[in-house]
Chains A and B, each alone.
Chain A
Amino acid sequence: MKSFPQPGAITLLVVILITCTLLFLFQKVIWLVVPFLLALMLFYCLRPAVEALVVRGMRHETAAKTVWILLQSIMATIVLAVGLLFVAKAGTWQTDFNRYVAGGENLLKGTAGMLENNIPVFKSMDLSGQVDQVIQQFTNRFAGRNLLPVSLQSLKWLPSLLLVPYFIYFMLNDSARLKKYIIKSVPNAFFEKGLLLCSRLDATLQNYFQGLFLLTLLDTACLAIGLEALGVANAIWLGLASAILAWIPTLGSLIGCVLVVLVAATDFPDRAWIAYACLLLFLSVRMLDDFLFMPLTIGRKLRVHPLLSVLMLCLGAAVAGTTGLVLALPLFGVVAVIGETVSQVVTDRKLKARYRATRQLVPLQTAV
């Protein structure tokens, strides 16, 4: 694949400004952006399957419908299995949750006690007493009262997530037709550039989602190998859950880390070092993820310089918080391609002159 021409300094500045503005706006319609992005990710993951069926002689529409039906079957099976598990565990849900919280409490208390015994400053600060107080506040506030509302609040996303299969269906079926209709509206003078822009956008999005998929695989593999070596049960599933949670930078990583440490602390109550090792493993994978894997996979796939990737992540977080962190890189990639092509078109005197000349031709022709 040909590498994209690098945009100039002014174009880059405009691209960064537009990306930040879009991030700010997207934050306001996050209920629509999330299902659309999920659908887009699934679309780019499923498109190779549709193409494989087309190569085997199936018509595009039939291949798209087949893949969509398969996806719906898998999704329905997962939803059904999770629902059944939820119903079966509903009685012990609070008990299990409390058991893991108790595991975490014990780990924190044990750590505080150990620090007090070894470092006099912590003893004079009454670290154990303070940790007890914090745990008590957390348990009262979160476990006692907020567990149900949190579950109900997450249900608010359900109608929005129902849009995902609807979006995927039309993306799989009509993406080529949509592209054709968009191109139809482009004036003749800019036709070839317009086609090139569409093609580049498509490649950018595909590269981003392929990068994200690769990143998830790398994270899962690193975490699973580490957890397995430490003897933690269900290492692969914990690794996968943490890797998927890491799609939401910072918050997702934090939840993933707490999840892994709680499981280790509960499963090995007498061996606190395993929980510490899990924490260390998690932090190492995060560091690798942020400074090596992400720039190498998503950054490289998007042809974004690693330094620029980090800068965009920081800007995204500053402008739109968690939403900004998630959307910063893909949005920057897309806006950069559009910006670079538009700047080429706008600064191309020949194309502009050709467009102006064509506009003068059309009324003449109609008047004849």
Chain B
Amino acid sequence: MWTIALNRLDEMKFFGADRSAQKIEMLKHIPIFHELTRKEILEVDELLHERIYEKNEIIFEEGDPGHGIFIVVSGKLRADPGHNLLKNAVLDFGPGELVGELSLFDEAPRTAKVVAIERTVTVALFQAEFSSLLLKNKSIGVKVLVEIARTLSRRARQLLLQEKHAPSL
């Protein structure tokens, strides 16, 4: 009980109004942000929405209209894709991995159901806010876009070669 309370306190501290060095470090360890400078991370942080999902909680379901991406900070998410092409894919997403990246470019329906398989902390980036970031700060936009494109191409390549991979959702 006490452990849970302390964990919650840590999370509250982590997501508090003051931007601690710990938080910047944490964001910097996320692959799509690791090219960003400290100042740029602070700017991106303004757009990120922190979400905590309990074990077995649904993040989104197949067919839901997608409005943004989720980045796992801690914990683990599992995808349950309905499409046969994705049956061979690695279905678990751990810290630093992206989920729902296809929705960052259009509002197409989600291609899989994603559930938290343990208590998971995520940060979400909304499509409209990401678009405004691309306009406001091209430098950040390019760095983040390159990382997302890298993830997408890696997953597409693995899909083409029928390797085990994390699916693009």
Contact = CB atoms under 8 A, between A and B. Distances in A.
- Secondary structure call for the A interface: helix
Given A55-B137, A358-B54, 13 more contacts: A2-B107, A55-B135, A60-B46, A176-B47, A180-B49, A184-B50, A191-B51, A191-B124, A196-B67, A354-B61, A358-B57, A361-B55, A365-B54
Interface string B17-41: 0000000000000000000000100
Given A51-B136, A365-B119, A350 B51 contact: no
Which 3 A-B pairs have CB atoms at the shortest separation, nearest pair first?
A361-B54, A199-B128, A192-B67
A195 B46 contact: no
B81 interface: no
10 contacts: A60-B46, A176-B46, A184-B49, A195-B49, A195-B124, A350-B61, A358-B57, A361-B55, A361-B56, A365-B55
Nearest to A191: B51
B53 A55 contact: no
B67 A195 contact: yes
B58 interface: yes
Nearest to B66: A192
Given A191-B124, A195-B67, A196-B67, A361 B57 contact: yes
Contacts of A365: 4, 54-55, 119
A177 interface: yes
Interface string A188-210: 11011001100100000000000
Interface in A17-51: 51
Interface residues on B, range: 20 to 34
Contacts of B65: 192
A366 B1 CA distance: 7
B43 interface: yes
Interface of B: 1, 4, 39, 43, 46-47, 49-51, 53-61, 64-68, 107, 119, 124, 126, 128, 132, 135-137
A233 interface: no
A192 B110 CA distance: 12
A243 to B, nearest CB: 31
Contacts of B132: 51
Nearest to B17: A177
Contacts of A85: none
Interface of A: 2, 51, 54-55, 59-60, 176-177, 180, 183-184, 188-189, 191-192, 195-196, 199, 350, 354, 357-358, 361-362, 365-366, 368
A177 B46 contact: yes
Nearest to A55: B136
B67 A366 contact: no
Contacts of B119: 365
B137 A357 contact: no
A351 to B, nearest CB: 9
Nearest to B50: A184
Contacts of A183: 49
Contacts of A60: 43, 46
A332 B130 CA distance: 29
Contacts of B46: 60, 176-177, 180
Nearest to A358: B57
B137 A54 contact: yes
A362 B54 contact: yes
Contacts of A2: 107
Contacts of B61: 350, 354
B58 A354 contact: yes
B98 to A, nearest CB: 16
A54 B51 CA distance: 27
A335 to B, nearest CB: 21
Contact of B68 (A59, A192, A361): A192
Contacts of B56: 361
B4 A188 contact: no
B135 A195 contact: no
Contacts of B58: 189, 354, 357-358
Contacts of A368: 4
B55 A188 contact: no
A189 B53 CA distance: 10
Contacts of A180: 46, 49
Contacts of A51: 132, 135-136
B136 A192 contact: no
Contacts of B53: 188
Contacts of B137: 54-55
A51 B132 CA distance: 9
